[in-house]
Amino acid sequence: MKLIKTLAYLLIILFIMPLAGCNKSEDPVPEPDTGKITFKFYHYCDGAPLDFDIRKYVNEAGNQYMVNEIQYFISDVTLHRPDASSYMIMAWKDIHYVDTDIPSTHEWKVLDEIGTGDFERITFTFGISEEKNQSLMFVDHPESLMFWPQYLGGGYHYMKLNGKWLDTNQFERPYDFHLGIGQIYDSQSGEITGFIQNYFEIEVPASGFTINKDQETVINLVMKVEKWFNNPHTYDHNDWGGDIMQKQEAMKLACENGHDVFGVLSVPPSLRYGGRSEF
């Protein structure tokens, strides 16, 4: 009888132990260390903050010109680590609109929680990729005003850079330096037979940075406007006229010039006293 009680006791212990193991709480997985990133956008010409509505600039072709306004999209911003891994910003939005007339667009507080550590460079798409550049995806102003006519390819402008230049007859003429989807025209009928995607990737030079835990890292991006008109091509307003939306050759030239338009502003204007900032 005593043996039976002992065996019964052991069976109970063996039955309870697995149940107790199932209820044992596991150690929680620690949350990864993250920080935030904010992009600020500046616009310079010839090494100094851009002055609008004043015909004070001369491009490589010798055109005297002014800039009235600039609007553009950047998208697919990607942060690259030294180990060749990367992170694409995509929380809430992956396309950012910048408008020189709207100060609130000059700062992009990215919502993504980004893992801490070092990043060696930043790349992004200037404009919007073919997959994402869909007509009517922006329903509110000001982004909706960037629409690209449907018959010219649809979607949205990559950029509107508007201003005036002094032509060969010394008349001040407006120019619309607009980039977007290009067209292929039939040489006989003049009808559109196809479209060309002109968006391109920019690798921002000297754009390494560090994300620290629970801290905000600010990246000051600067557009160097004069670069749109030189290197590798000399862009002449007198050759291309005031409107290039239907001139694929001109847009191609401009996009190829865009490879080094952006840089990092080491000391933004609000933090310096006179002189010029370094890129």
% of the chain with per-residue pLDDT over 70: 85
Contact assessment for residue 89 and residue 77, using Cβ atoms and an 8 Å cutoff? yes
Q: What's the structural domain count of the chain?
A: 1
Residue 37 has pLDDT above 80, yes or no: yes
Contact assessment for residue 198 and residue 156, using Cβ atoms and an 8 Å cutoff? no
The residue-averaged pLDDT of 62-90 equals 97
Given this model, what pLDDT does residue 274 score?
40
Domain that holds residue 129: 34-271
Query: The tokens of 141 are what?
Result: 């102003």
Q: Give the tens place of pLDDT for each residue, 117-144.
A: 999 999 999 999 999 999 999 999 999 9
What is the maximal distance between C-alpha atoms in the chain? 121
E-strand ranges in the chain read 34-45, 48-49, 57-58, 64-80, 86-88, 95-99, 107-109, 114-115, 117-119, 121-126, 159-166, 172-179, 182-185, 192-196, 200-204, 209-211, 216-224, 262-264
In a domain, 1, yes or no: no
The residue-averaged pLDDT of 142-151 equals 97
Sorted by sequence, the CB contacts under 8 Å of residue 244 that are 6+ apart come out as 176, 177, 178, 250, 251, 254
Q: If you ran DSSP here, which 8-state letter would residue 245 be given?
A: T
In a domain, 158, yes or no: yes
Place of tokens 């212990």: 13
Beta bridge pairs of residue 82: none
Given this model, what pLDDT does residue 27 score?
63
Residue 20 has pLDDT above 90, yes or no: no
Using alpha carbons only, how large is the chain's radius of gyration in Å? 28
Query: The tokens of 33 are what?
Result: 């260390």
Query: The tokens of 128 are what?
Result: 């919007």
The residue-averaged pLDDT of 83-110 equals 94
The residue-averaged pLDDT of 83-93 equals 89
Q: Give the tens place of pLDDT for each residue, 179-231.
A: 999 999 999 999 999 999 999 999 999 999 999 999 999 999 999 999 999 99
Residue 146 has pLDDT above 70, yes or no: yes
The HSE-up count of residue 76 (CA atoms within 13 Å, CB side) is 16
Angle at 216 between CA 214 and CA 222, to 5 degrees: 160
In a domain, 4, yes or no: no
The residue-averaged pLDDT of 46-71 equals 98
Place of tokens 């209820």: 23
% of the chain with per-residue pLDDT over 90: 82
Share the mean pLDDT of the chain: 89
Given this model, what pLDDT does residue 32 score?
82
In a domain, 257, yes or no: yes
The residue-averaged pLDDT of 38-43 equals 98
Residue 29 has pLDDT above 90, yes or no: no
Most confident of 4-13, 26-35, 145-154: 145-154
Given this model, what pLDDT does residue 266 score?
78
Given this model, what pLDDT does residue 75 score?
97
H or E stretch including 121?
Answer: strand 121-126
Contact assessment for residue 243 and residue 61, using Cβ atoms and an 8 Å cutoff? no
Q: In whole angstroms, what is the distance from residue 222 CA to residue 204 CA? A: 10
Alpha-carbon distances, residue 163 vs 132, 133, 134 (angstroms): 29, 26, 27
Angle at 32 between CA 28 and CA 37, to 5 degrees: 155
Place of tokens 């980004």: 114
In a domain, 124, yes or no: yes
In a domain, 39, yes or no: yes
